[in-house]
Structure 1
Amino acid sequence: MLDPEKIDSNSLFDLYTALQLPVDLFDLTEGFTIFNLHDIGFKLPYQSKSYRPNFFSFLFVKDGIGCYTIDDKTFTVQPYSIYFTNPSNYRTFSWQEINNILLITFDETFLKKYIGENVYIDFPFLLTELVRPKVVSATIFQEIETINRLISSEYTKQISPDSRNSSKYAIIGHLLAILLLKIKSHIWQDYNPIYEGNRSSQIVVAFKRLLEQHYRDLSSGKVECAFRVQDYASAQNLHPNYLSSVIKSKTGKNITTWISEKSLIEARSLLRNSSLSVKEITYKLGFTETAHFSNFFKKHEGISPMQYRKSYQHEV
């Protein structure tokens, strides 16, 4: 049963299901959605329960009034504002008016698959803990709105059951990259998340950046074995228990969960794109035994590493 006051949502689909909102437009095969909230059917005024997402989101508010609350910070959303959040703490939202508000969500797998492994280097604002809504001029909003229309048009295209979605979402991925570039150039051109927020927020951002960099180095072969909690703590001259406490309190997830999620993403990539044996991947990701890695992978994917590799090779 769901806690009536809090919702742990693994995706926007889970969140909308929990909030008893329409989910018929969702495509569960990819970690991307785009909807106009006017079409969702919120009964106004609307106040959500507290929830924790594990997806990135942009709100493009052309005509609407509401607010979001994260931790003890409440932000008013007003016309011609752009609001961004990433996977983080519990938050709530409320709406008084919804006339034209576009919501775009995407997960890390989608970013890495369709935009690239260096997405956080190209767009560092994606890593920040807290980004205030930005009100832009009507001209800038219109430029962004043009890109959003192309994304929405591609997203709502109907495809036959026997055809593949790859080209559709590849196009969406390219358009999303253009959108991120446009937003970066107009809003966060010189933005560096490491300098924003209090000490705890800076620790979290530094951890996220090191986590991302380390797995890039792991993938490219610059390092041979995955970091453990002690390594991430040492990089910031912190005690592992203190780092773990900060990560848990600020993000709602244990540091081991962050590392496990990254390991799973890297495992899927290595099984799809490399010729490394399962034993070699086991060592690379820091598991002591192949059986431990296989159990970890099967717990999250439902199939063994070898079955995953074979199924992917069969599809392509």
Structure 2
Amino acid sequence: MESVSIEDFYKETAALVPADINKEIGHFNIFKIDDFTASLKKGSTMPYNRRAYYKISIISGRNKAQYADKEIDIEKNALLFATPKIPYHYVPQDDNQFGYFCIFTHDFLVQNKSGVVLDDLPIFQPGGYPVFQVTDEAVEEITAIFKKMYKEISSDYAYKYDLLRNYVLELIHYGQKLQPATSLYPSHTAAARVSSLFIELLERQFPIESPHQKLQLRTAKDYASQLAVHVNHLNKVLKENTGKTTTDIISSRIVQEAKILLKQTDWNISQIAYSLGFEEVAHFSNFFRKQTALAPLAFRS
């Protein structure tokens, strides 16, 4: 099964990329379903693939949606949430398809500084409820949010992407309110508690707001010590809950902050390296290149 990238999406749809998108860390865009009517005609099939981005759609029209092992017949209106973790597609069942959809990457929401980890949210959990058939009244409320996004992305407002992040979070919370209570409040096991405390401890160190500020917890052993658990236990718990090791999660969060500092500050590379816990600039450069395939200066430019 292939994974469809952001670049693949634009090639397949010939959609226009926002002119100022390169100023942003991460990616966001919004579209009208109507603009894709020709390629979404009855009987056409969206490839059943994973996408390397998140997608939220509000669609009016008869459709058949397939998400993981679920197949849902949609008679009129649907609100859909898609995650890079799970393959999906939907097949229009009539020629009257209307609505909006937005696509965004994980890095896009990182900048809102809320500590939100998308894959920890119930709406994006495997086995969750990502497709909702909604009323006409709900469609009006949801469409109003999409219309504000559609208008805002074309504006010259300096902080429009901050506003767009808030609209995306509003859609996510709207969807989570539609979920059964059992999926919103899972049993809180000891392992889940350790995972939750680790993420809280990690996020508490960010954002980095001064070149004199320095990460205090840098390694898996540092976090295990703070949580009063053995480092092997912490690794086991995180691997079971997230599929990633402690070091992988820490490295991912540090590189996200590094991208923000490189794009949004004028700090030199030495200052950024120090604030992120690297004693040597060369160590930071090697770390960043390993994570992104780019040198820090190349990413900044």
Q: Same fold (TM over 0.5)?
A: yes
The residue number in structure 1 matching 2:40 is: 42
The residue number in structure 1 matching 2:148 is: 150
Q: Distance in 2 between matches of 1:45 and 1:212?
A: 44
The residue number in structure 2 matching 1:195 is: 186
Alignment deviations for residues 140-161 of structure 1 (CA, whole Å, 9 cap, x no partner): 2211112211211223x2x7xx
Q: Is residue 200 of structure 2 the alignment partner of residue 213 of structure 1?
A: yes
How far 1:56 sits from its partner (Å)? 2.2
Mapping of residues 143-292 of structure 1, within 5 Å: 143-155=141-153, 157=154, 166-184=158-176, 186-188=177-179, 193=184, 195=186, 207=195, 209=196, 212-219=199-206, 224-228=216-220, 238=233, 240=235, 244=239, 247-248=242-243, 258-270=249-261, 272=264, 277-283=271-277, 290-292=281-283
How far 1:33 sits from its partner (Å)? 1.5
How far 1:136 sits from its partner (Å)? 2.4
Residues 170, 216 of structure 1: alpha-carbon distance in 2 compared, 3 angstrom cutoff = same
Q: Which amino acid aligns with 1:228?
A: A
Task: Could you tell me which runs of 5 or more consecutive residues in structure 1 were left unpaired when the two chains were aligned.
Answer: 1-5, 312-316
How far 1:46 sits from its partner (Å)? 2.7
Residues 219, 43 of structure 1: alpha-carbon distance in 2 compared, 3 angstrom cutoff = same
Q: Distance in 2 between matches of 1:55 and 1:235?
A: 34
Aligned residues: 278
CA contact (8 A) 1:69 1:92 kept: yes
Structure 1 residue aligned with 2:81, among 69, 81, 84? Answer: 84
- Aligned residue for 2:81, secondary structure, equals strand
The residue number in structure 2 matching 1:105 is: 103
Mapping of residues 121-132 of structure 1, within 5 Å: 124-125=121-122, 128-132=125-129
TM-score (norm 2): 0.69
Q: Distance in 2 between matches of 1:119 and 1:146?
A: 24
CA contact (8 A) 2:238 2:245 kept: no
- Aligned residue for 1:24, secondary structure, equals coil
Q: Distance in 2 between matches of 1:224 and 1:35?
A: 42
CA contact (8 A) 1:34 1:103 kept: yes
TM-score (norm 1): 0.67
- Aligned residue for 1:219, secondary structure, equals coil
Identity of aligned residues (%): 18
CA contact (8 A) 2:110 2:256 kept: no
Q: What is the root-mean-square deviation of aligned Cα atoms in Å?
A: 4.3
Residues 259, 223 of structure 1: alpha-carbon distance in 2 compared, 3 angstrom cutoff = closer
Q: Distance in 2 between matches of 1:246 and 1:171?
A: 31
Residues 203, 86 of structure 1: alpha-carbon distance in 2 compared, 3 angstrom cutoff = farther
- Aligned residue for 1:46, secondary structure, equals coil
CA contact (8 A) 1:60 1:103 kept: yes
CA contact (8 A) 2:220 2:246 kept: no
Q: Which amino acid aligns with 2:2?
A: I
Q: Distance in 2 between matches of 1:239 and 1:104?
A: 36
